[in-house]
Amino acid sequence: MRILIVDDESINRFLLVHMLEEDGLLDVYEARSGHEAIVLASKIQPDIVLLDVVMPDLSGFDVARELKNTNDNVYLPIIFITSLDDEETIAKCLDVGGDDFVSKPFNKTVLLAKVRAHARTRELSKKAELQNKELTYFRHSIEREHEIIEHIFSQAIVNNPLVTRYFDYRLFPAAEFSGDVFLCEASPNGGLYFLIGDFTGHGLASAIGALPVTKAFQAMATKGLSVSEIASTLNTTLESLLPINMFFAAAIVEVSENGCRLNVWNGGMPNLLLQSPTGELVTKFGSQHMALGILQADEFDDKDEVYSTEPGSRLLAFTDGLIEITNAEGEMFGEEGIERWFVGNPSVSVEELMAPLKQFLGGNEPHDDITLTMFTCQALTSLRRNQPVTALPFSVSATLHHNELKQGEGVQHFIELICSQRGLSWIRSDLFTILTELYSNALEHGVLGMDSSMKRTSEGFMAYYEQREQNLADLQSGYIELRAEFDVGERLLTVHVTDSGEGFDSLALEKVPSDETYGRGISMLRELCETLTFIDNGRHAVARIPV
């Protein structure tokens, strides 16, 4: 403990130094005037100042004010030494910032007791100051980390604006980071997917899970996986990732290209409400499953609900933060609350749904994140038509001769070649069906000259394919030419399949009764293509496929 004694009289300084030394306090400095005290104090940083009141240059009052002003946030005890014991001076000592006083003549016991008591307070103050500094440091580093995380989140959790414009949605986080997730992505089949979910709790700890969920969801959506598969994969990912007390309630919905067929998987979320174009409640998609991230893969149930509705119907989904909001009387808004505002109100927007909520809250802050999203059932053709597509008006062709026909992989490589072009992976599954179908026709009925009608009986069906294998193995000549042309302006892919065979009656194939085990290929293709024509006596098929 470092003590500064300020007194213009040397006898007083001597007495004080002596008393302190006797008690083992040896780190003692002396100043003979007010000015000297101020200069010395800034140099030696005393822990306690013993200060005389009356001095020739600066009074002890002025010195005390100055020392208290220049001092940092740590408590610097100033004990006035005074021979004056009138109450007014004592009061002033304390007014100007003094903390205590000792009277002359000095009483050693009292002096030392006071010095020690104030030293303890200074120690406490030093500790508090240190903790304050640490806290400030931590606060700053957390703020910096949050900025970084916010940046990452804002870059990583981004929905495609072409898809979000089909949704009316709002997210109200309870803290800086939201444990609620709303994701949507176009499907390669022309429809779209969306996911609304809620991690246990709120804030950063619950928001962090949104990253892997977003990445996995987007990857699976772009592949066109079913909602069952998406649910099951997310469950497996989260089950291994999340601590045992944390999970992810989520509803995953796939909307078909016509906008009216809904596949819904709901695990732990409030009911999704489907409203007819005139406002009636059509159905509710309740939670059928446990939330994601709880069950092991073998216990997990990926079964989804399928529902077909009419255009103009509206599907509303929300997180439980909405139904759990509580008013000043401690009442919850509840599912009935939201249904009351939504049902029978075919034009209400999400924004307008929030109004009664805010009124209900009456100034209270919601305790959990709140997310609402509404989808109006409508054809999504523009979604597919708006996906960027290659600007290259290409034309490719491949002629497969008998050796390539035997290997049988040519058509798949050809499909890969086309689908590797930007935007064309969207039609991969249609293109696969169309091209393999036309290829099979060209090969079986053209090059190999086989007749489908033998497939009529079960034995014939097998025999047909056995014969196909045999004929193909024996093949010595013949070819199939595959050609694809892409029209950028029309966004139209035209594929030609030409074979070296004798031709076949394509019309006859379409007249086969529908319960036969053959002959359904061409009518199926007509549904998938814009147009399908056979020319040159069935030797040359032309399919036009919109992209």
Binding residues among 260-299 for another protein as defined by CB under 8 A = 263
Cα 504 from Cα 453, distance rounded (Å): 13
Nearer to another protein, 220 or 246 (CB): 220
- Write down the least CB distance from residue 366 to another protein, Å: 37
Map tokens 């100034």 to a residue: 363
What is the distance, to the nearest Å, from the Cα of residue 368 to the centroid of all Cα atoms in its chain? 16
**Does 408 sit near another protein (CB under 8 A)?**
yes
φ, ψ of residue 267 to 5 degrees: the values are -120, 100
Cα 417 from Cα 342, distance rounded (Å): 49
Count interface residues toward another protein (CB under 8 A): 36
**Burial class, 63, CB count within 10 angstroms (exposed 0-12 / middle 13-18 / buried 19+):** buried
Binding mask 444-463 for another protein (x = CB under 8 A): -----------x--x--xx-
- Write down the least CB distance from residue 141 to another protein, Å: 47
| Residue 261 tokens, joined | 């067929």
Query: Which residue stretch of 9-17, 127-135, 326-334, 433-441 sits at the interface with another protein (rule: CB under 8 A)?
Result: 433-441
Cα 28 from Cα 35, distance rounded (Å): 18
φ, ψ of residue 362 to 5 degrees: the values are 55, 45
- Write down the least CB distance from residue 364 to another protein, Å: 44
**Does 404 sit near another protein (CB under 8 A)?**
no
Query: Which residue stretch of 76-84, 158-166, 218-226, 364-372 sits at the interface with another protein (rule: CB under 8 A)?
Result: 218-226
- Write down the least CB distance from residue 348 to another protein, Å: 30
Cα 533 from Cα 134, distance rounded (Å): 78
- Residue 294's CB is within 10 A of a number of other CB atoms, namely 20
φ, ψ of residue 246 to 5 degrees: the values are -125, 140
- Write down the least CB distance from residue 520 to another protein, Å: 5
| Residue 451 tokens, joined | 């007749």
Nearer to another protein, 103 or 228 (CB): 228
- Residue 263's CB is within 10 A of a number of other CB atoms, namely 19
Binding mask 508-537 for another protein (x = CB under 8 A): ------xxxxx-xx--x--xx---------
**Does 137 sit near another protein (CB under 8 A)?**
no
**Does 379 sit near another protein (CB under 8 A)?**
no
φ, ψ of residue 27 to 5 degrees: the values are -85, 75
Nearer to another protein, 62 or 305 (CB): 305
**Does 419 sit near another protein (CB under 8 A)?**
no
Nearer to another protein, 479 or 518 (CB): 518
Binding residues among 20-79 for another protein as defined by CB under 8 A = none
CA distances from 396 to 33, 152, 240, 447 (A): 100, 42, 46, 22
Nearer to another protein, 59 or 226 (CB): 226
- Residue 121's CB is within 10 A of a number of other CB atoms, namely 13
**Does 229 sit near another protein (CB under 8 A)?**
yes
- Write down the least CB distance from residue 452 to another protein, Å: 9
- Write down the least CB distance from residue 381 to another protein, Å: 15
**Does 417 sit near another protein (CB under 8 A)?**
no
Contacts of 507 (CB under 8 A, 6+ apart): none
- For strands 167-172 and 370-376, give the pairing: antiparallel
Kindly tell me the sign of the dihedral angle through the C-alpha atoms of 240, 158, 323, 359: positive
- Write down the least CB distance from residue 301 to another protein, Å: 12
Binding residues among 179-198 for another protein as defined by CB under 8 A = 187, 189, 191
φ, ψ of residue 436 to 5 degrees: the values are -65, -35
Contacts of 145 (CB under 8 A, 6+ apart): none
Residues within the interface to another protein (CB under 8 A): 187, 189, 191, 224-226, 228-229, 254, 256, 263, 303, 408, 429-430, 432-433, 436-437, 440, 455, 458, 461-462, 465, 468, 514-518, 520-521, 524, 527-528
